[in-house]
Amino acid sequence: MKRAGLVFVPTPAVGHLVSTIEFSKRMLNLSDRFSVIILVMKSPFGVAADQPNTSQPVPAASHTHIKLIHLPTVDPPTEFESVEKFLGDYIDKYKNHVKDTIINQVLPNTSQIAGVIVDMFCTTMIDVAHELKVPSFVFFTSGAAFLGLLLYLQKRYDQVGKVFEESDPDSIVPSYINPVPTNVMPGFAFNNGGYISFANHARRFKETKGIIINTLVELESHAVHSLFDGNENEQSQAQPHVYAVGPLVDIKGKYEVQSNLTKVDKIMKWLDEQSPKSVVFLCFGSSGSFDETQLKEMAIGLEQSGQRFLWSVRQNPPKGTMATPGEHTNYDDFLPHGFSERTKGMGMWCGWAPQVEVLSHRAIGGFVSHCGWNSILESLWFGVPIVTWPLYAEQQLNAFQMTRDLGLGVELSVIYRKDGGDFVTADEIERALRRLMEGDGEIRKRVQEMSGICRKAVDDGGSSSAAFGSLIEVMLASLKTKSG
């Protein structure tokens, strides 16, 4: 018997693809009625989003019922008003390719399409689902609180018709426990192109049969419940049902970029020699980097703190480009004079680092992070408390939520705009690291408790497994309706 097809359209970025694959694997483990087809776009930023691991170029190949289809290349937009609008316009160019691929390559090999699941940036593909008369769902790869913010921003824009200004007062956003300061709003909230792009995405979310979020109710209970309560009493279009199915974490690090396995072995060997929970890991994601002045200050702060450290250091891309950070060829360009000798045996610095493997190591006692949502979920899964240093996108909001709403992180910085010339001093870094590693342990205790809760949520009978079950029932019901 042919399985019903679930077509995924992820944003062309490694983090989004990895979450999609983890979600797909979980779906297939829970039901044998589906096969998964992931339509892969080429990244407009010069990154092979479909090849996150050079030693494993097709990460889904190990699962019989997951298939990746690489879509034809399209030219990126020639105009650039904001990253968000640029990405949205680029993805829109793939619409005909997605429709043609479903008709010509998916439908002939499946009994029928059970649903088109579009990433949070790919809402233009909802039109394809409408044309093919199949249900659509949104896969939201960030947290429930940020989803609530997007819905709030869309409603606000419809009411006042303008972007934020730095002088605006705090906002009462239903998905956050505390009022949200204007200065932790993402950069896109202050420019027309980015704001309108996200407002349009949020508006289109409401056209789908459901919004699937990479979170768990126990972590974001306030945010998730605010979404259920969202607009029940309003005359506007009702919000689709929300399914909190996370954490969707690549706990084995199978899809991480690995440019040099010898370097990975060196990192893991060094960690093996350290005491349990004695090392602070500094890592800022695939796009996180700093100029040499800030890097030098980080080194001074690390040395002053007296903590053991593993520091993933990336080089800023050339100004005016959208390239990803590169590797430093000479660390002496930014390390303080004599730093290497003074910290010998206490610390290790490297370029890219295998984040999941490192976080899961017994030696890691803290994580200085850019607060990308995947990184937050990974840190919680492994029970490693975060020191927040957000850099871009919604990371300031994630840092605000982790430290002030949930009490699950140590606040080094919540308000940080690299492009705005913000700077974190060595003394601030030292204080945050000492608080994390030598403090009263309350945050560490809460994070370790949340680690257990995360694991229970995805087990049989857990909240996320139950949400998966409800989602599968909805998808199967749509198939019965069509066949009937």
Supply the residues annotated as catalytic. Answer: 16, 119
C-beta neighbour count of 136 within 10 angstroms: 24
Q: Is the omega angle on the peptide bond into residue 247 within 30 degrees of 0, that is, cis? A: yes
Q: What's the rounded Cα separation, in Å, for the pair 138 and 85?
A: 19
**Residue 279: partners with Cβ closer than 8 Å, 6 or more residues away:** 271, 307, 308, 309, 310, 363, 364, 365, 366
Nearest to 380 by CA among 195, 148, 215: 215
How far is the CA of 417 from the CAs of 15, 154, 196, 291, in angstroms?
Answer: 22, 23, 21, 13
Whether 227 and 242 have beta carbons less than 8 Å apart is answered as yes
Collapsing DSSP to helix, strand or coil, 28 comes out as helix
**Residue 360: partners with Cβ closer than 8 Å, 6 or more residues away:** 251, 253, 382
**Residue 445: partners with Cβ closer than 8 Å, 6 or more residues away:** none
